[in-house]
């Protein structure tokens, strides 16, 4: 009798274990392959000051905003770039957000280098919408960000 119960447990246990495991579907919620996340911080937004740079270009691909800049420096290896959102959402159609691109450059050389950085915009999405206008300070025009 004990042997038959053991056999039943040995047969049933793997099925129970498989039934309780999570079914992760990474295709539905795959994170964007960006260099870094956009930051939402009203205090940082209000106090941050950017070093001088020249905007070479920008593009949105999925959830990634890629920004290319050029600036003077020794090699650009110590440059820091942050995309910071004020946290405010303008109730327009579509909604609008206000951002700053903060560039930090402590290199004191006269050569000019270019560098690109991509930012994951997914945390800037507004519930109930699939489109938002990004107003980035010092950029020539607003950026239209659409998402599913």
DSSP string, 68-133: EEEEEESSSTT-EEEEEEEEEEE-SSSEEEEEEEEEE------EEEEEEEEEE-GGG--TT-SEEE
Q: How far apart are CA 122 and CA 63, in angstroms?
A: 6
Q: How far apart are CA 140 and CA 5, in angstroms?
A: 74
Q: Report pLDDT for 31.
A: 54
- Let me know: does 48 contact 84? Beta carbons within 8 Å: yes
Q: Report pLDDT for 32.
A: 59
Please tell me the pTM assigned to this model: 0.76
Please, how many CA atoms are within 13 Å of residue 8, restricted to the half-sphere of its CB?
5
Pick from 44, 50, 67: which is nearest to 121 by CA?
Answer: 67
Q: Report pLDDT for 51.
A: 96
Q: Report pLDDT for 25.
A: 40
- For the chain, 148 residues long, the average pLDDT of each consecutive 10-residue run is 45 43 43 88 96 97 97 95 97 96 95 97 95 97 96
Q: Report pLDDT for 135.
A: 98
Domains of the chain: 32-146 (2.60.40.2370)
Q: Report pLDDT for 22.
A: 41
């Amino acid at each position: 009798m004990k042997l038959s119960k053991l056999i039943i447990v040995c047969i049933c246990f793997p099925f129970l274990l498989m039934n309780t495991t999570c079914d992760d579907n990474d295709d539905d919620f795959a994170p964007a392959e960006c260099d870094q996340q956009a930051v939402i911080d009203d205090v940082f937004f209000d106090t941050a000051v950017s070093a001088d740079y020249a905007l070479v270009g920008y593009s949105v691909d999925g959830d990634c905003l890629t920004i290319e800049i050029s600036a003077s420096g020794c090699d650009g290896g110590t440059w820091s770039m942050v995309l910071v959102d004020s946290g405010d959402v303008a109730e327009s159609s579509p909604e609008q957000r206000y951002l700053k691109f903060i560039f930090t450059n402590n290199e004191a050389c006269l050569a000019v280098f270019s560098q690109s950085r991509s930012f994951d915009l997914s945390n800037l999405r507004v519930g109930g919408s699939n489109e938002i206008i990004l107003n980035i300070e010092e950029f020539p025009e607003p950026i239209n960000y659409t998402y599913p």
